[in-house]
Amino acid sequence: MGWNDEQDHQFRHGKGRHLGNVISNTQEEVGPRDEFTDEKEITLAEFVGRRRLPIRLMYRYDFFDSWTHEIVIEEKTDDADVPRMLGGERACPPEDCGGPFGYKECMEGYAEWMDDDYDPEIFNKDEVDFT
């Protein structure tokens, strides 16, 4: 996402009410019986490598600001050494911008604290680095 990894985050796998607790940098419980594997013990690549594709993951970042993203991994090819971004829209929201509502203000130009050179519409999939 381009964030600085300053906030708690977690990945979940599954659908609807059957989301499994997968990987996190915290053991903070969000729901009953939440249990995560520490991200120091397993990488996302290792977890995904054990599953049949396509796979959907829910990525939560900064529980206070409540960022939630869906990540879809569609296929694995033999010639790919690292993941490749197929598409996306808009720039990464700035760290600590106030969650989706604060980001909306950024996009509408209402956030006075924003850098003048920030353009929420700019996204270049070729600049995404998975290493």
Residues 101 and 71 in one domain: no
Q: Could you tell me if residue 1 is inside a domain?
A: no
Rounded to two decimals, the pTM is 0.72
Residue 91: which domain range? 87-131
- For position 100, what pLDDT does the model report? 87
Place of tokens 């829910």: 58
Q: 35 and 16, same structural domain?
A: yes
Q: Band the pLDDT of 76: cuts 50, 70, 90.
A: confident
Tell me, yes or no, whether 72 and 91 share the same domain.
Answer: no
**What does the pLDDT look like over 11-40, one tens digit per residue?**
888 766 666 667 777 666 555 566 778 888
Residue 81 domain-assigned (yes or no): no
Burial class (CB in 10 A: 0-12, 13-18, 19+), 51: exposed
Beta bridge partners of 58: 12, 70
| Residue 50 confidence (pLDDT) above 70 | yes
Amino acid at 95: E
Three-state DSSP string of 3-67: CCCCCCEEEEECCHHHCEEEEECCCCCCCCCCCCEECCCCCHHHHHHCCCCCEEEEEEECCCCCE
pLDDT tens by residue, 95-125: 888 888 888 887 777 767 677 777 778 888 8
